[in-house]
Chain A
Amino acid sequence: MKIDALKDPSVIEGHPTFLDIDNQISAPLDKPLNTKYLLALAITSTMLLIGVISIGATFYYGIGLWGNNNPVGWAFDIINFVFWVGIGHAGTLISAILFLFRQKWRTGIARFAEGMTIFAVMTAAIFPLIHVGRPWLAGYLFPYPNQHHLWVNFTSPLLWDVFAVSTYFTVSFVFWYIGLMPDFATLRDRAKNKIKKIIYSILSLGWRFSNRHWQHYEMVYLILAGFATPLVLSVHTIVSFDFAVSIMPGWHTTIFPPYFVAGAVFSGFAMVQNVLIIIRKIFDFEHIITLETLEKMNKIILATGTMVGYAYGMEFFIAWYSGSQFESFVFINRAFGPYAWAYWIMVSCNVLFPQLFWFKKIRRNIPIMFVIGVLVNVGMWFERFVIIVTTLAHDFLPSSWAYYKPTLIDFGVLIGSFGLFFTLLLLFIKFMPVISIAEVKAVLDGAQPHHNNNGHQGGNDGK
């Protein structure tokens, strides 16, 4: 066998044909519902129902049902918001940043990760709305001409958040949809069922696979990737401004924006990795979402986890180096005070366990990487808990210090957020192609023409 060192190794294993790709990727859409799927949907929709009941009770009786109380005015609601926005970041990173870096291995996971971005941002968007207590008045968050002649406060990070998260959702959605359009057209032409055909025709907008269109399409994909890259960095930066722009010790630090972005990518990759492990197993996508891909994701988890660990260390260093007694108090209190349990859960899950990925055997061991992925997400949830609760519980006024205790309703809303996210994900898996058909075809072996007319690189013609 001749090995060509000039050629990239294939990112798709097993040399499938174009038709195989069509059949395999659309298989979950064509098969009738099976018991496993319905069972999974039953579990997630039960979780969702718990969330709906908890939020309904919150609307009816007010947010007094939550554990938030002076001085901890931000608790589960904001923790969950930051957590879910962070989960979304991996999707844009995979679809936009890795696209700009021409990482071909992203094609197998990009669609799915983008879908996760959208669902994660939708889940996240619930929390600021219910946090304000009267979400049906959320229109006031946008500057609109009103009879009071009042405008929103454009100097407030909370308003920047409104713009950042809504822009992020819109652009992610457009990016996702543009990617889906050719696949909807493929499905339209495969559909045997008339209703399915009508739905896919409408969704595909009448895409015709014309190369006159592909040319603009590739350009727009590049432009969107170029815009989404700074956008995704800006979103968690602005989320971190919610804290960093205030003067609370433990929040008022310049390290927050990069630290939050690294943490977001970290938790997002862990979530994508977890869900992909399950999906590739259930739908036999092991040759498209390969072990190589998972290993590369684990490397990114390791890199971002180490960045997060560096940020934890740097926070302590600055607390000491600044000489501010309030800063030093907050950080010593975090590690050894009443919330030390949460702090050490965070450090062990985020800094210690991902370091196991230095070993290649662990990077390629699916059960172990799954467990580490879960731990990373537990750790990242606790990171937000530690940042928000420890700082607020011990503010400048010692007389008002108090220990925060969440209520059952708080946990109900948290469970509900997972329920919403996974329910949307399951519906997505059932009704849309979870892997980009067009993009995977484009990276198959022999899918691209050989540019050299002499043909000395050509594999098929035997020269």
Chain B
Amino acid sequence: MENKIIYGITGIFETPDEIINAAKKISESGYTRYDIHSPYPLHGMPKAMKLKPSPLGYFALVFGLTGAFAAFAMMTWMMGFDYPLIISGKPFIPIPAFIPVTFEVTVLLASVGTVLSMLFLLFKLPNNSHPLHDTDYMKQVSSNKFGVCIEAKDDLFDEQKVKDLLIQLGAKDIQVITYDNETLSFKVNIFEWKFVVFLIASALVVSAATYATLNKLMYVPPFDFMMEQHRIDAQAESKFFGKGAFSMLTPPDGTVPRNSNQFKFAGNPELADAKLLNPLLPTEENLRKGMQKYDIYCSPCHGYHGVGDARLNGQFPNPPSLHSEKIRSWGDGHIFYVITQGQNSMPSYSSQLTNEEKWQIVLYVRALQRAMNAKEEDMK
């Protein structure tokens, strides 16, 4: 007992009314370093103890404003300056869209910051080696009793006087709390070999785990990146379809695609000339659509008026004029045949044009020919 230093003297009270009365008396006697312990917060206790109002509200304000400014500045810099992108036609710094994240970061920082500063700055927790821990006193005040502890560090502290005061106030179970010898002699030494080994071991484990994750695990299915994953390249040989097959299978012989029009006159323009008739009438609408398609698909080589003055002059062989005697003497079916099958260096236009559009083009070509070689009665 003798070599121990006194931390303080404690007393136990039974009811909340007694403890609040005791708190008032103790603070009126001029003690400043004392504490009241109760299993739950007591109404009116801060006033009885003459405590200053809690400053945590200001902490929350500062943390909250920091969060708001930090979040807003971060988003403004990232989206407005570091990597500006136009998203949905909004400005680079769309302020309304920043509100949700700003709010969330404000709340996050204000809450977490206030709590952490309360625990670590104001309370100096975690502290499991406080002299009050593991005493009978603490066991009672954590459950159903109320206690007062006057610390030895108080300027007015005098063992006998404090005991008398507590007895006078009606306290029971008055005890002297002392520091533990181990606590007093304990020194933190970060170069203790156990601690150093622990540091090295955790560094090794963390590095190994990081390496294994980033350089090994991320290349093992299903964790591998998409470019590493199993896939079938276009026109590569396919193991799935059997030997010699490709990733894109050729359809079996005789396969007919849905909605397809089979052209029965392939390789036989004369027959097409004789048998095919234009199902459309040269109405204004048909001519207009024919002109539209002609201007898109035909005019690059044949020219807008069909004289063969291609815009692509020189890059492809110039086509003959559409106004020659030969072509004017062709039937509609023959022109349709050339659009469908191609001729010389002209390819087929079947993939670009429907049958109806081809006939509309035929009508328009006829109109061009008629315009260049007008008959006598057209002039009237």
Contact = CB atoms under 8 A, between A and B. Distances in A.
Interface string B107-133: 110111011001100110111111011
A439 B37 CA distance: 15
A209 B78 contact: no
A230 interface: yes
B128 A209 contact: no
Interface residues of B, number: 71
A210 B37 contact: yes
Contacts of B39: 18, 182, 186, 209, 437-438, 441
Contacts of B83: 149-151
A328 to B, nearest CB: 26
A167 B94 contact: no
B58 to A, nearest CB: 11
Contacts of A154: 75, 78-79, 97-98, 101
A164 B104 contact: yes
A205 B51 contact: no
Interface in A189-230: 189-190, 201-202, 205-220, 223-224, 227-228, 230
Contact of B123 (A186, A213, A219, A449): A213
Contacts of A150: 83
A189 B125 CA distance: 17
B45 A211 contact: yes
B298 interface: no
A216 B115 contact: no
A163 interface: yes
B143 A190 contact: yes
Given A19-B144, A211-B37, A220-B56, A151 B100 contact: no
Contacts of B85: 153
B219 to A, nearest CB: 12
Nearest to A152: B78
Contacts of B376: none
Given A160-B100, A206-B130, A449-B20, A170 B138 contact: no
B148 to A, nearest CB: 9
Contact of B143 (A18, A61, A164): A18
B35 A210 contact: yes
B139 interface: yes
Contacts, number: 206
A219 B54 CA distance: 7
Nearest to A62: B222
Given A136-B223, A159-B101, A224-B111, A449 B16 contact: yes
Given A206-B133, A210-B37, A227 B111 contact: yes
B378 interface: no
Given A151-B79, A216-B54, A210 B128 contact: no
Contacts of A230: 103, 107
B40 A438 contact: yes
Nearest to B74: A143
B97 A223 contact: no
Contacts of B74: 143
Nearest to A448: B43
B104 A209 contact: no
- Say whether chain A's binding surface is mostly helix, strand, loop, or mixed: helix
A425 to B, nearest CB: 24
Contacts of B119: 205
Contacts of A185: 142
Nearest to B98: A154
Interface in A171-190: 171, 174-175, 178, 182, 185-186, 188-190
Given A206-B125, A216-B123, A155 B90 contact: yes
A241 interface: yes
Interface string B22-55: 0100000000000111111111111001010010
A163 B100 contact: yes
Contacts of B141: 209
Nearest to A198: B128
Given A17-B144, A211-B36, A211-B49, 18 more contacts: A149-B82, A150-B83, A153-B85, A157-B100, A159-B101, A163-B105, A171-B111, A186-B39, A186-B142, A189-B138, A190-B143, A202-B126, A208-B37, A209-B38, A211-B42, A228-B111, A231-B107, A446-B16
What 5 A-B pairs have minimum CB-CB distances, sorted nearest first? A18-B144, A219-B54, A214-B41, A442-B40, A155-B97
Interface of A: 17-19, 22, 59-62, 134, 136, 143, 149-151, 153-155, 157, 159-160, 163-164, 167, 170-171, 174-175, 178, 182, 185-186, 188-190, 201-202, 205-220, 223-224, 227-228, 230-231, 234, 238, 241, 437-439, 441-442, 446-451, 458, 460
20 contacts: A22-B143, A22-B144, A59-B222, A60-B221, A155-B79, A155-B87, A163-B100, A182-B39, A209-B138, A209-B141, A212-B35, A214-B40, A214-B42, A220-B114, A223-B60, A231-B107, A439-B40, A441-B39, A446-B15, A447-B40
